[in-house]
Amino acid sequence: MTGRGNNGTVLLPRSSGILLHPTSLPEGRLGADAYAFVDWLAAAGQAWWQILPLGPPDGSGSPYGAASAFAGWPGLLAQPDAPVSGVELERHVAEQRFWIGHWASYAGEGAIADQVRFEREWTALREYAARRRIRLIGDLPIYVADGGADHRAWPELFQTGHISGVPPDAFSATGQLWGNPLYDWRSLRATGYRWWIERFRRTLSLVDVARVDHFRAFVAYWSVARGRRTARRGVWRRAPGRELFSTLAAALGELPLVAENLGVITPPVERLRRHLRLPGMVVLQFGLGGGRANPHHPSRHPERAVVYPGTHDNDTALGWWSSLSGAERKRTGLDGVEPAWELVELALGSRARLAVLPLQDVLGLGSEARMNTPGQAEGNWRWRFPRGSLTPALAERLRHATQAAGRLAQGY
């Protein structure tokens, strides 16, 4: 069970889980494969299943460019033609009245019925996972799609003339030009941040904990003039930070969140995260070989954190290892006999309360199984694990490592 801090913030137990988006299941849907995966997680002694955003992806397949900040993607449905009653339609419209009408106007005929089906299938899967003592970690993207349902429905809440991105970083020398509309924080403040309240409410109705993508943009965000070819020439602009989260807490109560605090992180960003008592993220691929001053180095991991061998934006552990030179490999301190599993065991042994392992690393797969390469528009979000990969022997190995690291939940 989760504990609580002295301000009501959720304290994650010492535990572990697997990062796998439903699209990476063998059939990429919420059907039998999803239930079998939950069973395997339980057999492996895991307590969490972390996913990526559930909204309708963009044309490249990215769930971070979803056409709606609220709607579930019908492409995940195991039974897309299942009947929907008039009573179900009316109930769903009443329960989701803030956004469902706008989504129906955007997505067209059958959109509401699809959302009823999504709610039905997702709720059934989540309840099954709960019975198996598996909880869900969701993902709340910072931005919405340019021209998507939210941008069309509430244009007054967004800026014109400038778009989103991040400055040059380890992933790209020219930065990443995301192209999403930026928020007009003054207009949002005038509404009492209603859109944000409803967005967090919706996300937290679907999962147990949510990872807040690009948390630093709630303090300051990178603004690029529309028409620029890269994100290199942008400027930092201030966002409301503490005021927004105070408003969210007043409206919603406890906020079970994880802050994605990767990238260009400044002292004000960390002050806000610590004020909110939110776990941050540490990534082993960023810390191994970087010296003990590196915050991602295992010796620097705080207890209030989530540790990953790599995220969905990194290469797989084996792919990362294969890309290193001999000198770089030596600096990591790994013996290299089974590098993916070494990172799995390092993550499990971390001081961080929660360890989340990409399934690709548990399977020991190379770069062919990479989920996303930031800054690369094509070839992402396509990986699926082959049926039969999740063997009882692999579950037993992971369970043993989890128990040895003191992460096996009571009752497993």
- Is this prediction's pTM over 0.85? yes
Strands (E), 20-62: 48-50
Question: What tokens appear for 135 in the block?
Answer: 């909880």
Q: How is residue 182 annotated by DSSP?
A: E
169, 213, 254, 270: the catalytic one is 213
Query: To the nearest whole percent, how much of the chain has pLDDT over 70?
Result: 97
Task: Indicate the average pLDDT of the chain.
Answer: 94
> Is the confidence at residue 2, as pLDDT, over 90?
no
If phi over 0 gives left and psi between -120 and 50 gives alpha, with beta otherwise, what is residue 411?
left
Considering the chain, what percentage of its residues have pLDDT values greater than 90? Answer: 90
pLDDT tens per residue, range 375-408? 788 899 999 999 999 999 999 999 999 999 999 9
Q: What is the pLDDT of residue 168?
A: 87
The alpha carbon of residue 386 and the mean position of all alpha carbons in its chain are separated, in whole angstroms, by 23
On whether residue 169 sits in a domain, the answer given is no
> What domain range is 20 assigned to?
1-50+279-412
Residue 213 annotated among the catalytic residues of the structure: yes
Q: Facing residues of 164 across strands? A: 223
Predicted confidence (pLDDT) at residue 11 exceeds the cutoff of 80: no
Q: Residue 176: pLDDT above 70? A: yes
Active-site annotation holder among 39, 58, 270, 313 = 313
Average pLDDT on 367-375 reads: 94
Asked if 71 and 56 count as a contact pair (C-beta separation under 8 A), the reply is: yes
**Domain contains 238:** no
pLDDT of residue 99: 98
Q: Cα separation of 382 and 23, whole Å?
A: 8
Which tokens belong to 193?
């941040």
C-alpha–C-alpha distance, residues 403 and 362, integer Å: 16
pLDDT for the residue 1? 39
What's the CATH code of the domain at 292?
Answer: 3.20.20.80
pLDDT-derived band of residue 136, with 50, 70 and 90 as boundaries? very high
Instruction: Compute the distance between CA of residue 126 and CA of residue 267 in angstroms, rounded to an integer.
Output: 37
Active site residue 208: no
Q: Rg of the chain's alpha carbons, rounded to an integer?
A: 21
Q: How confident is the model at residue 7 (pLDDT cuts 50, 70, 90)?
A: very low
Query: Is residue 69 included in any domain, yes or no?
Result: no
**Confidence check: pLDDT of 9 > 70:** no
Number of domains the chain contains: 1
CA 28 → CA 63, 87, 126, 386, distances in Å? 13, 29, 16, 11
Q: Is 313 among the residues known to form the active site? A: yes
In a domain, 262, yes or no: no
- Beta-carbon neighbour count of residue 367 at 10 Å? 14
Q: Summarize the confidence of residues 104-115 as an average pLDDT.
A: 97
| pLDDT tens-digit readout, 218-256 | 999 999 999 999 999 999 999 999 999 999 999 999 999
Q: Name the region of 277 (left: φ>0; alpha: ψ -120 to 50; beta: rest).
A: left
Residue 10, pLDDT score: 56
**Conformation bin of residue 49: beta by default, left when phi > 0, alpha when psi is -120 to 50:** beta
- The per-residue pLDDT for range 59-88, each reduced to its tens digit, is 999 999 999 999 999 999 999 999 999 999
Contacts with 389 (C-beta within 8 Å, 6 or more apart), sequence order: 363
Q: Active-site residue among 119, 121, 139, 260?
A: 260
Span 160-174, average pLDDT: 87
Rounded to whole angstroms, the Cα distance separating 19 from 234 reads 32
**Residue at 329 is within a domain:** yes
In a domain, 174, yes or no: no
Average pLDDT for 162-175: 86
Instruction: Say how far apart CA 295 and CA 350 lie, in whole Å.
Output: 13
- What is the pLDDT confidence band of residue 6, given thresholds at 50, 70 and 90? very low
Instruction: Look at residue 71 and tell me if it is in a domain.
Output: no
Q: How far apart are the C-alpha atoms of 120 and 88, rounded to whole Å?
A: 10
Q: What pLDDT score was predicted for residue 31?
A: 96
Q: Over 80: is that where the pLDDT of 4 sits?
A: no
Whether 8 shows a pLDDT value over 60: the answer reads no
Residue 290 pLDDT level (bands cut at 50, 70, 90): confident
Task: Please report the pLDDT score of residue 262 as a whole number.
Answer: 92
Could you give the CA distance from residue 349 to residue 407 in angstroms, rounded to a whole number?
Answer: 9
Strand partners, 282: 307
Q: What is the mean pLDDT of residues 297-305?
A: 95
pLDDT per residue over 278-289, tens digit each?
Answer: 999 999 999 998
Q: Helix, strand, or coil here: 161?
A: strand
> Residue 42: inside a domain, yes or no?
yes
Q: Does the pLDDT at position 313 exceed 70?
A: yes
With CA atoms as reference, report the closest residue to 78 among 138, 126, 32: 32
